[in-house]
């Protein structure tokens, strides 16, 4: 008894010190834990997929009540995930399962439901589908991310889905990786800023109160740079690189108060992350200070045995993962975890104290989300959902995320021109909404929203049906098809091709070659051969290589998967109604054999062949054109030497819109640390902001340089290093040198 009391006091102290949660609620959690049986505690640590409790075993929400009752009454399951249906079905389903959970179970603990609303309420039939994160990052506007998070919260909260498995905070350093489009791009600072904006906005959304929602920082850690490009395959990331390029977005998320973390399914430096005590306890909890709920990715304890082969069976996998620090297992469709946990407790290998730690975090999360007060969907919140308004925002987000990569003047398209439109995405809604739309791989064309337009349909609206000729071709596979295409193009003035990648997700998107597939390259070649101007829209999740064609094409737009209003957004840009302002949040590779992220150290080859500039990429990080011009001038620094720790230097730049159109400009500030004990990247993004400038208007934009924040870097132990030496600040093609010298020695 004394031992239990000591455990309770320790737990109480930990929880109280950990969070701003009322002592009353803590007492309640504490009392709950005190009276919970082992089965009830382990049930709270187990999450099942809805497919185990629906009639047909799919995500569609027809409840199999018997299965559900067995899961919550016999097995005390505390959490479920992943369904996809209409608001009406969601409403009925969540109401039914929460009612059984809070009325028929012994302790009446409400369920917490997880969902992957990763680009809007994408598992609700009527949901507003936004562009994926890679496009949001290209806007270089945190307000764009805040808009998406707000609409997503407003459309998710009414149906009681309180746990969103978003945002992905993996840094998109490997363009082969099939989840590249889920990242905020290749720069750690950009990922940090966009990720924390999503989290703060989503978890703090005032429009849905009293409902509260949890985001989820995923996938901790090192998932996004698999050595061979395939999903869930080993990453080899040196400790110093991990700290400098992979930790920051997660640290920013923890500092922003994110309530949950999901773990990387892969391996990092030989360790299966789900079984790594160093990564899940030392790094995540002790060094980075995360105190919330850690959930596994789907069936990843099983994978310790079946895929990573780091344990000989499920029971050892359970021990390894729980001992490493997971709180909840996304078991999906198996109760084996429960049996293994009971055996491990009976054998004394997992202590009740360890279990109470996880259960305490899970109950605290449910309390903080208000689930004990009201776990039910809300008709009042549902009545506030304004799809029309939300879809306007979806179009504006897409417009600000689309990147004009190349334009020889053919854009904007003039009215009255005869336009031939063709290609994989020309008349496809699925290619606009992309993956994780109604299902993880995206929905078939006949299940896409009826009220949505394809690019072809939207082009007809804007340019007139008689000026549009649609050639229904995904690509060209023969000389005969090529000749026919050239004949079809005879009476057209311009050729518009929508090319890219059909939606894919995770390992289903593994590729061996980053080059765009041959049939689409053939289509571009045929279009070029007509001798008419060619405009290409890229609808893809990662930068597929098409250099030879790109050099001959007149205009290129990167649109990612632009969402439910993506067609209208693209047409507004193609027609000039909207001035594009996106910039690449990643490097567009020149060739498949040499992918060099923008901040890579220049190879010796580059330095010693300076009179033969090596073309490092097709388009660089930060590439993005406008229909107007922005002139940068007068880069000035308030000082050129740091001599004191808390000193700041103000950098200012003048930017003028010298064209005859209003426009938005993403102002990207980089810093180069010219000499570093640890080899420094050529340059790193350290600040960005989006400004509006009317034609002729000019503004002064500033960036306050704070040495500890922007000029230091981590060593292999994560300790920040701030060294004397020379630095450069770069913005808009201008640069200025400054120094750190805390010893006042002369340079
Ligand atoms: C998937 C993904 C993860 C997602 C989870 C639940 O395997 O890796 O991002 O949140 O399963 O759907």
3-state secondary structure 111-128: CEEEECCECECCCECCCC
Cα 169 from chain centre: 6
Please, which pLDDT band fits residue 608 given cuts at 50, 70 and 90?
low
- Are 507 and 178 in contact, with CB atoms under 8 Å apart? yes
**Ligand 1 centroid vs 52 CA: distance in angstroms?**
16
| Ligand 1 atom with least separation from CA of 265 | 8
Ligand 1: does its nearest atom lie under 6 Å from the Cβ of 439? Answer: no
> In this model, does residue 304 exceed pLDDT 90?
yes
| Ligand 1 atom with least separation from CA of 168 | 9
Q: What gap in Å lies between CA 341 and CA 643, rounded to an integer?
A: 57
Q: What is the DSSP letter of 82?
A: -
**Ligand 1 centroid vs 393 CA: distance in angstroms?**
26
Question: What digits encode the pLDDT tens for the residues 223-256?
Answer: 999 999 999 999 999 999 999 999 999 999 999 9
Ligand 1: does its nearest atom lie under 6 Å from the Cβ of 297? Answer: yes
> In this model, does residue 569 exceed pLDDT 70?
yes
Closest-CA residue, ligand 1 atom 10, reads: 165
Please count the residues of the chain: 747
Q: What gap in Å lies between CA 22 and CA 80, rounded to an integer?
A: 27
Ligand 1: does its nearest atom lie under 6 Å from the Cβ of 116? Answer: yes
**Ligand 1 centroid vs 357 CA: distance in angstroms?**
24
Question: What digits encode the pLDDT tens for the residues 522-544?
Answer: 999 999 999 999 999 999 999 99
Q: What gap in Å lies between CA 72 and CA 241, rounded to an integer?
A: 44
Q: What gap in Å lies between CA 557 and CA 581, rounded to an integer?
A: 11
**Ligand 1 centroid vs 216 CA: distance in angstroms?**
11
Question: What digits encode the pLDDT tens for the residues 447-505?
Answer: 999 999 999 999 999 999 999 999 999 999 999 999 999 999 999 999 999 999 999 99
Q: What gap in Å lies between CA 23 and CA 25, rounded to an integer?
A: 5
Closest-CA residue, ligand 1 atom 2, reads: 297
Tokens of 743: 């010893």
**Ligand 1 centroid vs 656 CA: distance in angstroms?**
45
> pTM of the full predicted structure?
0.95
Q: Which pLDDT does position 186 carry in this prediction?
A: 98
Other C-beta atoms closer than 10 Å to the C-beta of 535 total: 23
| Ligand 1 atom with least separation from CA of 440 | 12
Tokens of 372: 């004990």
For residue 98, the SS3 value is: helix
> In this model, does residue 26 exceed pLDDT 80?
no
Q: Bin 120: left if φ > 0, else alpha if -120 < ψ < 50, else beta.
A: left
704 has which bridge partners? 650
Query: Among 171, 675, 138, which residue's Cα sits nearest to residue 398?
Result: 138
**Ligand 1 centroid vs 297 CA: distance in angstroms?**
6
| Ligand 1 atom with least separation from CA of 218 | 9
CA–CA distance from 199 to each of 218, 268, 445, 654 (Å)?
12, 25, 32, 33
Closest-CA residue, ligand 1 atom 8, reads: 297
Tokens of 240: 């110093």
DSSP string, 438-473: SSTT---GGGS-TT---HHHHHHHHH-GGGEEEE--
Query: Among 567, 546, 541, 579, which residue's Cα sits nearest to residue 407?
Result: 579
Question: What digits encode the pLDDT tens for the residues 498-511?
Answer: 999 999 999 999 99
Q: What is the 3-state secondary structure (H, E, C) of 274-311?
A: HHCHHHHHHHHHHHCCCCCEEECCCCHHHHHHHCCCCC
Element (H, E) at 649: strand 649-657
Please, which pLDDT band fits residue 17 given cuts at 50, 70 and 90?
very low
Ligand 1: does its nearest atom lie under 6 Å from the Cβ of 163? Answer: no
| Ligand 1 atom with least separation from CA of 506 | 8
Whole-number average pLDDT of the chain:
95
Q: Which pLDDT does position 10 carry in this prediction?
A: 52
Percent of the chain with pLDDT over 90: 91
Ligand 1: does its nearest atom lie under 6 Å from the Cβ of 165? Answer: yes
Pocket probe mutation, ligand 1, options 165, 302, 307, 441, max atoms within 8 Å of Cβ: 165
Ligand 1: does its nearest atom lie under 6 Å from the Cβ of 391? Answer: no
- Find tokens 């201008």 and name the residue: 734
Question: What digits encode the pLDDT tens for the residues 709-731?
Answer: 999 999 999 999 999 999 999 99
Pocket probe mutation, ligand 1, options 51, 83, 116, 260, max atoms within 8 Å of Cβ: 116
Say if residue 69 is exposed, middle or buried (CB neighbours under 10 Å; 0-12, 13-18, 19+).
middle
Element (H, E) at 664: strand 663-673
| Ligand 1 atom with least separation from CA of 216 | 10
> What angle is formed at CA 134 by the lines to CA 252 and CA 208, rounded to 5 degrees?
60
Q: What gap in Å lies between CA 367 and CA 375, rounded to an integer?
A: 10
**Ligand 1 centroid vs 679 CA: distance in angstroms?**
35
Query: Among 92, 97, 61, 214, which residue's Cα sits nearest to residue 152?
Result: 214
Domains, the chain, ordered by start:
20-382 (3.20.20.300), 402-589 (3.40.50.1700), 630-740 (2.60.40.10)
- Are 581 and 400 in contact, with CB atoms under 8 Å apart? yes
Ligand 1: does its nearest atom lie under 6 Å from the Cβ of 196? Answer: no
Q: Bin 698: left if φ > 0, else alpha if -120 < ψ < 50, else beta.
A: beta
Other C-beta atoms closer than 10 Å to the C-beta of 104 total: 11
Q: What gap in Å lies between CA 402 and CA 400, rounded to an integer?
A: 6
Ligand 1: does its nearest atom lie under 6 Å from the Cβ of 260? Answer: no
Ligand 1: does its nearest atom lie under 6 Å from the Cβ of 30? Answer: no
| Ligand 1 atom with least separation from CA of 166 | 10
> In this model, does residue 743 exceed pLDDT 80?
no
> In this model, does residue 19 exceed pLDDT 50?
no
- Find tokens 């893809």 and name the residue: 540
Ligand 1: does its nearest atom lie under 6 Å from the Cβ of 218? Answer: yes
**Ligand 1 centroid vs 177 CA: distance in angstroms?**
15
> In this model, does residue 610 exceed pLDDT 70?
no
Say if residue 195 is exposed, middle or buried (CB neighbours under 10 Å; 0-12, 13-18, 19+).
buried
Ligand 1: does its nearest atom lie under 6 Å from the Cβ of 298? Answer: yes
Average pLDDT of the segment spanning 1-16: 53
Tokens of 252: 């920013």
> In this model, does residue 16 exceed pLDDT 50?
no
Percent of the chain with pLDDT over 70: 95
Average pLDDT of the segment spanning 566-586: 98
Ligand 1: does its nearest atom lie under 6 Å from the Cβ of 82? Answer: yes
Closest-CA residue, ligand 1 atom 11, reads: 298
Q: Which pLDDT does position 595 carry in this prediction?
A: 84
Q: Which pLDDT does position 611 carry in this prediction?
A: 59
For residue 682, the SS3 value is: coil
**Ligand 1 centroid vs 167 CA: distance in angstroms?**
11
Query: Among 323, 382, 311, which residue's Cα sits nearest to residue 348?
Result: 323
Question: What digits encode the pLDDT tens for the residues 173-205?
Answer: 999 999 999 999 999 999 999 999 999 999 999
- Least confident window among 6-20, 75-89, 657-671: 6-20
Ligand 1: does its nearest atom lie under 6 Å from the Cβ of 231? Answer: no
> In this model, does residue 207 exceed pLDDT 80?
yes
Q: What is the DSSP letter of 268?
A: E
- Are 148 and 463 in contact, with CB atoms under 8 Å apart? no
Q: Estimate the crossing angle of helix 352-368 against helix 23-35, to 10 degrees.
A: 130
Q: Which pLDDT does position 25 carry in this prediction?
A: 76
Question: What digits encode the pLDDT tens for the residues 116-157?
Answer: 999 999 999 999 999 999 999 999 999 999 999 999 999 999
Tokens of 115: 């969902």
Q: Which pLDDT does position 745 carry in this prediction?
A: 41
Q: What gap in Å lies between CA 670 and CA 55, rounded to an integer?
A: 55
Residues with catalytic annotation?
297
Q: Which pLDDT does position 21 carry in this prediction?
A: 65
Please, which pLDDT band fits residue 9 given cuts at 50, 70 and 90?
low
User: For 683, how many CA atoms within 13 A lie in the half-sphere containing its CB?
Assistant: 16
- Are 550 and 557 in contact, with CB atoms under 8 Å apart? no
Ligand 1: does its nearest atom lie under 6 Å from the Cβ of 117? Answer: no
């Amino acid at each position: 008894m004394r031992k239990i009391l000591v455990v309770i006091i320790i737990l109480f102290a930990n929880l109280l010190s950990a969070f701003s949660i009322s002592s009353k609620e803590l007492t309640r959690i504490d009392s709950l834990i005190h009276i919970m049986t082992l089965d009830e505690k382990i049930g709270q640590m187990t999450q099942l997929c809805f497919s185990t409790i629906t009639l047909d075993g799919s995500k569609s929400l027809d409840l199999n009540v018997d299965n559900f009752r067995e899961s919550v009454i016999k097995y005390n399951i505390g959490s479920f995930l992943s369904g996809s249906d209409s608001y009406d079905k969601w409403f009925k389903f969540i109401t039914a399962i929460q009612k059984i959970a809070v009325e028929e179970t012994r302790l009446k603990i409400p369920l917490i439901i997880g969902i992957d609303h990763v680009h809007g309420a994408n598992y609700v039939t009527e949901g507003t589908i936004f562009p994926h994160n890679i496009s949001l990052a290209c806007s270089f506007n945190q307000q764009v991310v805040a808009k998406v998070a707000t609409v997503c919260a407003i459309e998710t909260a009414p149906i009681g889905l309180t746990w969103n498995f978003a945002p992905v905070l993996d840094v998109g350093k490997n363009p082969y990786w099939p989840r590249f489009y889920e990242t905020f791009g290749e720069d750690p600072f950009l990922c940090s800023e966009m990720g924390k904006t999503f989290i703060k906005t989503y978890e703090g959304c005032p429009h849905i109160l009293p409902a509260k929602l949890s985001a989820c920082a995923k996938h901790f850690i090192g998932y996004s740079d698999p050595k061979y490009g395939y999903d869930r395959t080993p990453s080899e990331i040196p400790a110093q690189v991990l700290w400098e390029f992979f930790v920051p977005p997660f640290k920013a998320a923890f500092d922003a108060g994110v309530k949950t973390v999901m773990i990387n399914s892969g391996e990092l430096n030989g360790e299966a992350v789900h079984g790594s005590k160093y990564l899940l306890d030392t790094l995540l909890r002790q060094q980075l200070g995360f105190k919330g709920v850690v959930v596994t990715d789907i069936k990843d304890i099983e994978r310790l045995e079946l895929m990573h082969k780091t344990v000989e069976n499920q029971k050892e996998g359970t021990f390894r993962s729980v001992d490493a620090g997971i709180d909840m297992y996304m078991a999906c469709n198996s109760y084996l975890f429960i049996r293994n946990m009971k055996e491990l407790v009976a054998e004394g290998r997992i202590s009740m104290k360890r279990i109470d730690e996880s259960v305490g975090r899970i109950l605290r999360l449910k309390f903080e989300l208000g689930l004990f007060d009201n776990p039910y969907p809300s008709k009042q919140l549902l009545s506030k959902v304004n799809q029309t308004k939300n879809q306007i925002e979806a179009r504006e987000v897409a417009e600000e995320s689309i990147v004009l990569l190349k334009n020889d003047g053919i854009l904007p398209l003039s009215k009255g021109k005869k336009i031939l439109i063709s290609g994989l995405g020309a008349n496809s809604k699925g290619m606009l909404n992309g993956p994780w739309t109604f299902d993880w791989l995206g929905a078939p064309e006949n299940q896409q929203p009826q009220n949505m337009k394809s690019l072809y349909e939207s082009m007809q609206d804007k340019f007139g049906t008689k000026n549009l000729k649609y050639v229904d071709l995904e690509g060209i596979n023969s000389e005969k098809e090529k000749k026919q295409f050239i004949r079809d193009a005879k009476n057209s003035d311009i050729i518009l091709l929508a090319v890219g990648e059909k939606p894919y997700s995770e390992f289903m998107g593994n590729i061996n070659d980053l080059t765009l597939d041959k049939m689409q390259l053939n289509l571009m070649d045929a279009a070029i051969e007509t001798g008419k101007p060619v405009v290409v829209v890229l609808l893809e999740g990662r930068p597929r290589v098409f250099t030879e064609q790109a050099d001959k094409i007149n205009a290129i737009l990167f649109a990612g998967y632009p969402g439910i209003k993506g067609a209208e957004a693209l047409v507004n840009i193609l027609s000039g109604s909207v001035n594009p302002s996106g910039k690449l949040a990643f490097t567009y590779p020149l060739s498949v054999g040499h992918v060099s992220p923008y901040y890579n150290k220049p190879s010796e080859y580059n330095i010693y062949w300076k009179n033969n500039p090596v073309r490092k990429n097709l388009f660089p990080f930060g590439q993005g054109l406008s229909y107007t011009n922005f002139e940068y001038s007068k880069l000035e620094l308030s000082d050129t030497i740091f001599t004191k720790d808390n000193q700041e230097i103000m950098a200012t730049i003048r930017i003028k819109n010298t064209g005859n159109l209003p426009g938005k400009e993403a102002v990207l500030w980089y810093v180069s640390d010219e000499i570093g004990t640890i080899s420094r990247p050529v340059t790193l993004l350290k600040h960005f902001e989006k400004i509006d400038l009317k034609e002729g208007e000019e503004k002064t934009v500033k960036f306050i340089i704070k040495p500890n924040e922007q000029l230091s870097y981590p060593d292999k132990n994560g300790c920040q290093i701030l060294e004397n030496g020379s630095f450069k600040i770069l913005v808009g093609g201008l640069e200025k040198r400054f120094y750190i010298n805390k010893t006042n020695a002369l340079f």
